[in-house]
Every structure is written in C-alpha cells, then in structure tokens.
C-alpha cells in the first residue's frame, strides 16, 4: 500500500458500483425496521465518486485532443450536431437508473459543449438580449461553452452567419399558437444559410416581480406576443394593471426589476439572469405552448435516418388551374410525406408567391432526391433550405 495514500475508513469501497449496503452501519434500528445509513460515510463515498468523475472528464479531454487532430487533418468541423444527437440519444437510452433523464441530458450537453471548446472557438448568434427564449434555445442546443453573440433582430442573426461573425445562429421559425415567424422564413428564402437542426422548446411564461403578491402589481411589462398568449390570465388576475409593451420579454423583466410595483411576463431564465423572482409560473392561456427553433449554418447536415427537408419553389404558371395540386402530387408519387406548407410573397414580383414545404427525409435519401429532381422540371426557383435531424430527438426524452 502507498504510505502517502490517505487512509480510508473501513467499509468504504473505491468501486462506485458497490452496493449502498456497504455504507449501512449497525446503528439502532428505527421503529419501521429500516437500517439507518451513516451520513459521514455516505458523503465520503460521494466525494470519492465525484473525484472519479473528474478523473474521467480529464481522460475524455485527452481523447478529445486526438479527435481535434483527426478533424484538422480531414478538414472536418469541430462541432458535429449529428454525432452529438446520436450520442445523447444513446446515453439517454442507457441511463435507466435512478438519475433523472433530463439531468443526464443537461450534464452531458455541458460535457459536449466543453469538449467542443477544446477543439475550436464556436460562435453562436441568437436573437437577444440575454434571457429571451431564443437565448434559452441556444443554450439548450450548445450549452455554456460557445461565445454567444446577441443580435437585435432575426435579420441580424442571419447576417452574422452569412458574414462569418458567427459559425451558427439560432432563430425562432414557428410557434404552436401564433404560427410562422415571417421574418425567419423570409431570411431563409433570401439565401446564404441552411437549416442544420431544429429544436422544439416548450414556452412557459412566468410572471416575474419583486412584489410578494398580485395585489401589489400596478404595471405588467412584456412583448406583445407574450401578452397576447397570457390575455385570459391577465384579465382574470390583473384586470386593473397597466400594460406596457417592450421589445422583448427579457427587456420586460429588466424593466420590472426596477419598478417597485411592476411585473413582467417572461422566462424563468431571464429572472435568473436579472435577479427578478418568479411570482407565478405557467401563466400562458394554452397549456402547451411551444416554439420551433432552427439552428442555421452554411453547410448541410449529414443524414441521420430521421430527417426533415425544407425547400421552396414558385409555381411556373400560377394561373393554371390545379397547378399546385399536380405539383404536390410529385411528392406522393415518390413516397415522400409532406408535413407543412405555407406561402410567402415573392420579393421580385407583386402577387407572386413562394411556397415553403417541409417533408420527411433527407435530400440525399433516394425518394426525396427523386422527388426534388422531378419538381425541378415543373417549378421555378426550387431551393433546398436544409436537410436536418427532425424533432423529436434526444431533447424530448
């Protein structure tokens, strides 16, 4: 035995898989007959496990160094969203013990984020400021390690990626109650960026304030969309409060934090960042309110087997009766399932429309590739905006 090694108390094993019975000592048995564990020994065991976790993280970082050198030799990017998605799904499937799956996801997302930062500096633009739901979505996708760039507008996020200020961007594209985010759709149509991944983030609006009861609230600050989604709650609980519009929910929380009689509708993340307590949670009128966010970049995502493709086109002759029906029939003919369709005004001619389509599958899949090739002979300006892993994925488990 190494004389320099600290002595361990009897009954404490170095093996983290050892049974909890190893820390049960023959203390007096309570009335229910359950043995009482020794708290000091249990904490010593936890310290030993934590030390092992740190050692394994250091070992992982060493292996990441080899991964970095291999990627540099092949020209592969430091961040591989498809690999991360597969890794998280595998870990969640394997994590069948008592440790909560959401916590497994959070822990390993930060491990992955830290390891990516060892390979290269990753910059991510999002619709700011800090504490917005876009900020929460970016952190859910990338963790804490990247360098984040706040942008004041959705167009600003796209420009950051187009000009190379950011490697990736995160923008909202659709809300379950309010519909599509037109600015994001139009920016995608404009070009220069591709969808790399999607995330559906549940939107849980909170009422945040420094006051202790609803009766003290005189003003409610928030973005118009958040106010609209909490209209019934406000009418029933704060009918006399003055409504103050702000440019974002995060700015609303900041305003409420400096108002002795103010409250804000926003995210718990904004309250955490700005030090404003949550007075009420989940005040949205529709219980399930979610926003679909997309991660944008300049390159295509690789096929995963569970993908979605978004593309646009213009009908060659919009006056032809049944033209859209026959065009969409190409998808059915090739066994491609369409999950979403909408139209946006074309910017090059009045009363002309760009159709935006989501289908299941990757552009490299045989049936999707065949459908796109057939469409190209029937329509104008066919453009693939991205093929990417579709939701639900690891985040929903």
| Binding region for substrate | 43, 60, 71, 80, 84, 115, 119
What gap in Å lies between CA 314 and CA 117, rounded to an integer? 42
Using CB atoms within 10 Å of the CB of residue 342, give its burial: 0 to 12 exposed, 13 to 18 middle, 19+ buried: middle
Catalytic pick among 291, 304, 312, 327: 291
Q: Quick one: which of 197, 199, 201 has its CA closest to 386?
A: 197
Residues with Cβ within 8 Å of residue 253, at least 6 apart in sequence: 131, 208, 221, 264, 266, 267, 270, 271, 274, 276
Question: Are the C-beta atoms of 113 and 60 separated by less than 8 Å?
Answer: no
Angle at Cα 395 formed by Cα 143 and Cα 367, nearest 5°? 115
Q: Please confirm, yes or no, whether 291 is among the known catalytic residues.
A: yes
Element (H, E) at 344: strand 338-345
CB 170 within 8 A of CB 157: yes
Does residue 200 contact residue 292 with C-beta atoms inside 8 Å?
Answer: yes
Phi/psi for 222 (5° steps) reads 180, 170
Residue 168 pairs in a beta bridge with 124
How does DSSP assign 18-73, residue by residue? S-GGGGB--PPP-TT-PPPBPHHHHHHHHHHHHHHHHHHHHHHHHHHHHHHHHHHH
The one catalytic residue in 293, 309, 313, 327 is: 293
Annotated binding-site ranges = 43, 60, 71, 80, 84, 115, 119
Report how far residue 223's alpha carbon sits from residue 195's, in angstroms, rounded to the nearest whole number. Answer: 26
Helix and strand numbers (H, E) in the chain are 12, 15
- Length of the chain counted residue by residue: 397
Return d(Cα 156, Cα 83) in angstroms, integer: 28
Q: Which residues are catalytic?
A: 291, 293
């Amino acid at each position: 035995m190494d004389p320099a090694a600290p002595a361990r108390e009897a009954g404490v094993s170095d093996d983290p898989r050892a049974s909890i019975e190893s820390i049960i000592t023959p203390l007096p048995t309570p009335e229910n007959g359950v043995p009482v564990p020794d708290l000091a020994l249990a904490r010593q065991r936890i310290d030993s496990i934590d030390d092992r976790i740190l050692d394994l993280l250091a070992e992982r970082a060493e292996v990441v160094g080899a991964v970095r050198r291999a990627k540099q030799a092949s020209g592969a990017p430091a961040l591989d969203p498809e690999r991360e998605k597969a890794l998280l799904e595998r870990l969640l499937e394997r994590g069948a013990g008592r440790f909560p799956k959401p916590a497994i996801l959070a822990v390993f997302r930060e491990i992955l984020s830290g390891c990516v930062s060892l390979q290269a500096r990753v910059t991510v633009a999002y619709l700011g400021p800090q504490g917005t739901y876009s900020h929460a979505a970016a952190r859910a996708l990338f963790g804490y390690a990247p360098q984040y760039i706040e942008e004041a507008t959705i167009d600003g996020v796209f420009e950051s990626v187009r000009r190379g200020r950011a490697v990736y961007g995160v923008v909202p594209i659709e809300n379950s109650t309010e519909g599509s985010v037109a600015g994001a759709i139009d920016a995608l149509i404009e070009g220069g960026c591709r969808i790399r991944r999607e995330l559906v983030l549940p939107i849980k609006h909170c009422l945040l304030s420094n006051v202790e009861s609803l009766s003290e609230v005189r003003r409610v600050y928030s973005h118009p969309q958040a106010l609209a989604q909490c209209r019934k709650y406000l009418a029933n609980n704060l009918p006399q409060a003055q409504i103050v519009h702000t440019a974002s929910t995060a700015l609303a929380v900041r305003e409420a934090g400096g108002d002795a009689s103010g409250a804000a509708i926003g995210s718990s993340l904004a309250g955490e960042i700005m030090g404003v307590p949550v007075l009420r949670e989940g005040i949205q009128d529709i219980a399930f309110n979610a926003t679909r966010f997309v991660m944008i970049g300049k390159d295509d995502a690789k096929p995963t087997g569970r993908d979605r493709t978004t593309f646009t086109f213009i009908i060659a002759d919009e006056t032809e009766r049944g033209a859209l029906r026959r065009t969409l029939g190409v998808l059915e003919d090739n066994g491609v399932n369409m999950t979403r369709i909408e139209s946006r005004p074309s910017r090059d001619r009045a009363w002309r429309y760009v159709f935006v389509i989501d289908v299941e599958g990757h552009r490299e899949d045989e049936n999707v590739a065949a459908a796109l090739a057939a469409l190209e002979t029937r329509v104008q300006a066919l453009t693939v905006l991205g093929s990417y892993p579709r939701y639900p994925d690891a985040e929903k488990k």
